[in-house]
Amino acid sequence: MRRIRTIALLVVAVASGAARADFKVKLPDAEFGEFEIETVGNYGRSGNPALNNEQSFVHEFEYG
């Protein structure tokens, strides 16, 4: 029973290690005592018409 539990934990640890975050946490660009809302956008262009004009937008809230 203990061996099965150990193997299951190893499988979960390896599987979760493969996931990667798209965005990383960074220090805020806001001045001391300032609250800032920033929009970060991405526009994709492809040779495939079905995938052309892909857009992605993220809103960041920062406090310095």
Give the span between the Cα atoms of 38 and 29, in whole angstroms: 10
The verdict on residue 46 lying in a domain is: yes
The verdict on residue 7 lying in a domain is: no
* 52 secondary structure, DSSP code: T
Give the span between the Cα atoms of 61 and 30, in whole angstroms: 10
User: What is the per-residue pLDDT for 9?
Assistant: 67
The verdict on residue 39 lying in a domain is: yes
The verdict on residue 8 lying in a domain is: no
Higher-pLDDT residue of 13 and 54 is 54
pLDDT per position as a tens digit, 4-49 = 777 776 666 665 555 555 666 667 677 888 888 888 888 887 777 7
Structural domain for 57, as ranges: 22-64
User: What is the per-residue pLDDT for 55?
Assistant: 84
User: What is the per-residue pLDDT for 15?
Assistant: 59
Give the span between the Cα atoms of 1 and 4, in whole angstroms: 5
Domains: count for the chain: 1
User: What is the per-residue pLDDT for 31?
Assistant: 81
User: What is the per-residue pLDDT for 7?
Assistant: 72
